[in-house]
Amino acid sequence: MPLPSAADLFSTQEERDNESRESVREIPLEEISDFPNHPFKVKMDESMADMAESVKQYGVLVPALVREKPEGGYEMIAGHRRKMASELAEKKEIPCIVRNLTDDEAIIIMVDSNLQREQILPSEKAFAYKMKLAAMNRQGQRTDLTSVPLGQKLGKTSRELLAEKSPDSNTQIQRYIRLTELITPILDMVDSGKIAIRPAVELSYLPKEQQTVLLDTMQLEDCTPSHAQAIKMRKFADEGRLNEDVILSILSEEKGNQKEQFRMPKERISKYFSPGTPAKQMEDTIVKALELYRKRERGKDRER
């Protein structure tokens, strides 16, 4: 007699019966709305254009996952990019699995289905982790998103349980969630690689008004704070002594590892990289390309 699977042990007979009845349906695109506050951006980029061309030729090979809405129609859980590609391919319908899910179950599946992508912006992870952790907390744990709530049965915190099924550690998840406290323009700078995550976390503790002052100063001085400078700003803010003059003074300090910088407008090189590629990865790729170019030129010199 075969042993029962983990799914059999932790699911009810009704849930197993429902899953066995699931089948793929062709659902009109106009009947499917996006998931509320979907944290993952669906962009019209080269990758999307390739996906749309594939859908045009072969159709959607992996069905999307949706749930029925009380007022009628369906809500997308997993498959936002496939839906957009289908629209671009001028398809009228998309294959879907319809599943009966609670709000929190839908959030967890939506986040998990996207976290495995190769390229995810820090802001996407930030809001995704925040949504999933809140859903986990509502399922029986405390609701403080950045503290350490007690696990219900396993003796673990909710972040530890989240980290076990995520590509990031418990500590890194906490850092990402802190980024949701940044004003949008500064969070955009984190996404573009202008500000690293650790200094950004420190800046997230500044009141929104002081973040706005910091943003204006960074733009005026064309600079961003180091981790040490961000820590110093947070300390002044906690003491109630952070203002425009103090921010300017801190940003004007020479950084410990400060070196002469070579700058190039991002728009000159962005077409050679996928959207969302971190600045450090762009820099490493450019350096490798220059090394290959130098080797090739030296080879030509030897042949002359």
227 vs 256: CA distance, rounded Å: 10
Q: How does pLDDT run across 215-271, given as a tens digit for each residue?
A: 999 998 899 999 999 999 999 999 999 999 999 999 988 765 444 455 666 667 877
Q: How does pLDDT run across 102-150, given as a tens digit for each residue?
A: 999 999 999 998 887 778 899 999 999 999 999 988 876 444 444 444 4
Q: How does pLDDT run across 257-297, given as a tens digit for each residue?
A: 444 455 666 667 877 888 777 777 778 888 888 888 887 87
Which contiguous run of DSSP H or E holds residue 303? helix 279-303
Residues of the chain with pLDDT > 70, as a percent, come to: 81
Q: Strand order of the sheet with strand 74-78? A: 24-28, 93-98, 64-68, 74-78, 32-33
Close Cβ partners of 182 (under 8 Å, ≥ 6 residues apart):
190, 200, 203, 204, 211
Mean pLDDT (the chain, rounded): 83
Is 298 in a helix, a strand, or coil? helix
Q: What is the DSSP letter of 68?
A: E
Q: How big is the CA angle at 237 (ends 235 and 240), to the nearest 5 degrees?
A: 115
pLDDT band at 10 (very low <50, low <70, confident <90, very high): very low
- The confidence score (pLDDT) of residue 261 equals 54
295 vs 293: CA distance, rounded Å: 5
Mean pLDDT of 61-75: 94
- The confidence score (pLDDT) of residue 80 equals 95
- Position of tokens 């070579």? 262
Residues of the chain with pLDDT > 90, as a percent, come to: 57
93 vs 177: CA distance, rounded Å: 36
Contact by Cβ (8 Å): 99, 168 = no
